[in-house]
Amino acid sequence: MSPGTLYLIPTPLGPGDITWVIPTAVRQCVAGLGHFIVEHPKTARQFLKQIGCALPLQEIRIQVLDEHTRPEDFANLLAPLLAGNDTGLLSEAGCPAIADPGAELVRIAHQKNIRVVPLVGPSSILLALMASGLNGQRFMFHGYLPVEPDKRLMKIVELEKESITRDQTQIFIETPYRNQKLLEALVQTCRASTNLCVASEITLASEHIATRTVKEWKHLLPDINKKPAIFLLHG
């Protein structure tokens, strides 16, 4: 028996009308699946309810893949695929396998000769880069910066220096409740002439994206506390 296909399914970056961010063809593909691998079953079911699946939700098989998943658990996650069942991999928000525990599953799927199909949908990284006006030819995503103030300071200095040397846009994120402190650290640490883009609540009605110099930001820091945001820096 040939293995099923692993579909990588982007999900909305926040609450709202999914037709704005998930194309019709993607919704139709997802609606026909009966197996899913997700981070959080509750939010996954909410998304699938909006999609309008062909099967009743209680008949859909949902398995969990998160930061607590052990290496020995991947065999069980892949079992439906190896048995011939097409399966969807869902991120909690945005694109699966990017800054997301699903990357390891995708890697193993390739090793097992399972077909992997990425579907179209929202990526906060690319959307923020598009809207930033910063270098979209040379850029790097760094994920989360260190939490400890001293280490975070050193990392910010390192990223700014690297950006200047390589003419490279540096992209990074933080957990929403620490966003304000990170923004304040960036403004206090970076050079006055460095460009900084702050993109919060992307694709939502409350979306706010602005690129300014650090000097300009010092006089009008936005309130992004507890709001999902992404930061882009170019020295």
pLDDT digits 0-9 by tens, 106-145: 999 999 999 999 999 999 999 999 999 999 999 999 999 9
Separation in Å, CA 128 to CA 22, 63, 122, 170, 184: 17, 31, 11, 12, 19
State which of 74, 98, 118 marks the end of a domain. 118
**pLDDT, average across residues 183-210:** 96
Does the pLDDT at position 26 exceed 90? Answer: yes
Q: Do 85 and 136 belong together in one domain?
A: no
Q: Which of 84, 118, 152 is the last residue of a domain?
A: 118
> Would you state the structure tokens that stand for residue 180, as one six-digit string?
């304000």
In a shared domain, residues 105 and 128: no
Q: Do 101 and 150 belong to one domain?
A: no
Average pLDDT over residues 183-187: 96
* Residue 215 neighbours by CB distance under 10 Å: 13
pLDDT in the model for residue 119 = 97
- In this prediction, residue 134 carries a pLDDT of 98
The pLDDT value recorded for residue 54 is 87
Q: Give how many domains the chain has, as a whole number.
A: 2
Domain match, 11 and 78 both:
yes
The CATH number of the domain holding residue 43 is: 3.40.1010.10
Q: Is 167 exposed, middle or buried (0-12, 13-18, 19+ CB in 10 A)?
A: exposed
Asked if 60 and 137 sit in the same domain, the reply is no
The pLDDT of residue 1: 77
Is the model's pLDDT at 81 over the cut of 90? yes
The rounded percent of the chain whose pLDDT value lies above 70 is 100
Mean predicted confidence (pLDDT) in 70-92: 94
139 and 92 inside one domain: no
d(Cα 141, Cα 151) in Å, to the nearest integer? 18
- Do 140 and 67 have their domain in common? no
Considering the domain architecture, whether residues 69 and 149 belong to the same structural domain is answered as: no
Radius of gyration of the chain (CA): 20
Same structural domain, 44 and 130:
no
Are 104 and 130 part of one and the same domain? no
End-to-end CA distance of the chain: 54
In 3D space, the residue among 2, 189, 187 whose CA is nearest the CA of residue 198 turns out to be 187
pLDDT of residue 40: 93
Give me the domain span that covers residue 62: 5-118
Is the pLDDT at 16 greater than 90? The verdict is no
Q: Is the pLDDT of residue 99 over 90?
A: no
Report the pLDDT value the prediction gives residue 84, as an integer from 0 to 100: 96
CA–CA separation, 174 vs 127, rounded Å?
A: 17
Enclosing H/E stretch for 215: helix 214-217
| pLDDT score of 45 more than 90 | yes
pLDDT band at 232 (very low <50, low <70, confident <90, very high): very high
Please report, rounded to a whole number, the percentage of residues in the chain having pLDDT higher than 90: 90
Please check whether residues 111 and 165 belong to one and the same domain.
no
Give the CATH number, domain containing residue 218.
3.30.950.10
Boundary-marking domain end, from 64, 90, 118: 118
Is the domain of 159 the same as that of 198?
Answer: yes
Average pLDDT, the chain: 95
Place of tokens 């998304």: 47
